[in-house]
Amino acid sequence: MLVKFQMEKCNPVCTPVDPNIKLDKDSKGKDVDGTYYKQIVGNLMYLTTTKFDIMYAISLIDKYMDKLKQSHLVAAKRILRKLLEEIQCMQTEATAIYCDNNSTIKLSKNLVFSKKGKHRDVRYHFLRDLIHDGIIDVVYYRSENQVADIFTQALKKKSFLKFRDMLGVYLLEEFEAL
């Protein structure tokens, strides 16, 4: 997308919206090519399915599709510059994927196939490739420490309270006491 809009060599920014600029109808501003602007906005809208952090910024620039000015185009290009900043933050080490199932870990790392596991081959090729390329690392993590279980299982009170604390969630009364 950055190449498409000739933004691959621009300076990245860390936020998609400049807090010092307020977009408005800008009746005195310079007119811009509506097709180009609409293509940028359309492409950015498509990204909101996976990039929620730019949704607010896109909602701001989307309001001005009928009377486009230079200030609106600058705001749209800023969002593209934010994407460039994210691309430049490359992964330097493997992301740890915590799993409490040793069989799954062994299956994901073992490159030898068996007849019993043949139906799983396609599903695990992708995972094995990610491990082989150093993008992820599947690591054993004890079941009693799997904080994600709070979202997926019925837990005993002790486990529930432990995971809730690990997530930093407190009752209002507990928070006020801190």
Question: How does pLDDT run across 110-146, given as a tens digit for each residue?
Answer: 766 556 655 555 656 778 888 888 889 999 989 888 8
Rounded to the nearest angstrom, the gap between the alpha carbon of residue 116 and the centroid of all alpha carbons in its chain is 36
Q: Is the pLDDT of residue 15 over 80?
A: yes
State pTM to two decimals: 0.54
Biggest alpha carbon distance in the chain?
72
| Amino acid occupying residue 107 | L
Q: What is the pLDDT of residue 117?
A: 57
Q: Is the pLDDT of residue 70 over 60?
A: yes
Q: What is the pLDDT of residue 74?
A: 92
The DSSP letter of residue 74 is H
Q: What angle do CA 45, 46, 51 make, to 5 degrees?
A: 80
Q: Cα dist. 52→17, 55, 58 in Å?
A: 14, 5, 10
Smallest CA-to-CA distance from 64 within 80, 75, 49, 53 is with 75
d(CA 35, CA 158): 58
**More confident: 102 or 126:** 102
d(CA 59, CA 175): 34
Q: What is the pLDDT of residue 159?
A: 92
* Contact of 12 with 85, CB cutoff 8 Å: yes
